[in-house]
Amino acid sequence: MLSYILKRLLLLVLTLWIVLTVTFLLTNVVPGNVAVMILGTRSNPETLAALEQRLGLNDPLPVQYVRWLGKTVSGRWGDSLRFDQPIGALVRQKLVTSSVLVVMALIIAVVASIPLGVIAARRQNRWQDTATSGVALVGISLPDFFWGILFILVFSRWLRWLPSSGSVDPGQDLVQSLRHALLPALALGVGLMAHLTRMTRSAMLETLSKDYVRVSRAKGLAERKVTYKHALRNAVGPVLTVAGLQLGYLFGGVIVVESLFNYTGLGWLTYQALLNRDVPLIQASVLVIAAIFMLSNLIVDLLYRALDPRIEYG
């Protein structure tokens, strides 16, 4: 297991280096000038040239890359051009805000999808299965922003139960932070819930056809006990694996939802950085999202052994 973890960590570092390199190249290909972003389009040419020299923008691209990579690895990300704040502190603050949203979306999806998938599998080809499969298909087919607009109209504009925009730091007021995160979490969780419901149904149908399930029924065990104690325990492994992998996708996919709800998390921050060509902030945000995605994959693979002792690390 230790050898497996070391290999995965080495692969993680290599992948992050590739992500950093691609991000650096793309941000340098995009038209624009960082010095102009800082000073403005009406800046003095001599001042602009001096700033370009100080920032090293006139150096060859390989020299800029090595210097930037060293700063990134050491955590010296500098200041945001858009927000004029240290990038490290800014990203940490927004990461906490987005974590509340993503964790709520994941909990909503898992809590709703597993019972629905079990019901659909137990009532295969009946109206419960048809209804659940239809709802799941609709959830997968429609994009997150559609559900976001729908929830704003229903829960914020008509019922006036929840705020339609903004966010609150969970360290200041946890209750208000959860209230502001609930609608975007619902919008983000609907698609994932539909996907996990279909996964749960497929896994349960396969498990319920196993010999040990038939033997448990032949012994006279209650159907509920057979389903939830024996079948679900073995079927839930792949479902939780997919849910864990989706954690990284959720952090990458919050950009649209957070922009729609003006929820000032990491996705909103990345979008603002893209709009304003805040190159240092773009690079830092992409690095953090990529690291979260890869770490979540590693954690899920390690936890999979706890769910299924038959799994061996290769």
Other CB atoms closer than 10 Å to residue 218's CB: what's the count? 8
Average of per-residue pLDDT values in the chain: 80
Rounded to the nearest angstrom, the gap between the alpha carbon of residue 173 and the centroid of all alpha carbons in its chain is 23
Q: What does the pLDDT read at residue 20?
A: 83
Contact in structure between 224 and 217 (CB atoms under 8 Å): no
Other CB atoms closer than 10 Å to residue 4's CB: what's the count? 15
Structure tokens at 295: 């770490």
Q: What does the pLDDT read at residue 175?
A: 87
pTM of this prediction?
0.78
How does residue 212 score in pLDDT terms, banded at 50, 70 and 90?
A: confident
Rounded to the nearest angstrom, the gap between the alpha carbon of residue 202 and the centroid of all alpha carbons in its chain is 24
Question: What tens digit of pLDDT does each residue of 73-103 get?
Answer: 777 777 787 777 888 888 888 888 888 888 8
Domain residue spans of the chain: 2-73, 88-307
Q: Distances in Å between the alpha carbon of 225 and those of 11, 20, 153, 218?
A: 42, 50, 42, 13
Q: 33 φ, ψ to 5°?
A: -135, 125
Q: For the structural domain made of 88-307, what CATH number should be given?
A: 1.10.3720.10
Structure tokens at 148: 């976001």
Average pLDDT over every residue of 284-311: 76
Average pLDDT over every residue of 175-180: 88
- % of residues, the chain, pLDDT over 90: 0
Q: What does the pLDDT read at residue 313?
A: 56
Question: What tens digit of pLDDT does each residue of 12-66 get?
Answer: 888 888 888 888 887 776 666 666 666 565 666 776 677 666 666 667 778 878 8
Question: What tens digit of pLDDT does each residue of 225-268 get?
Answer: 777 777 777 777 777 777 777 777 777 778 888 888 888 888 88
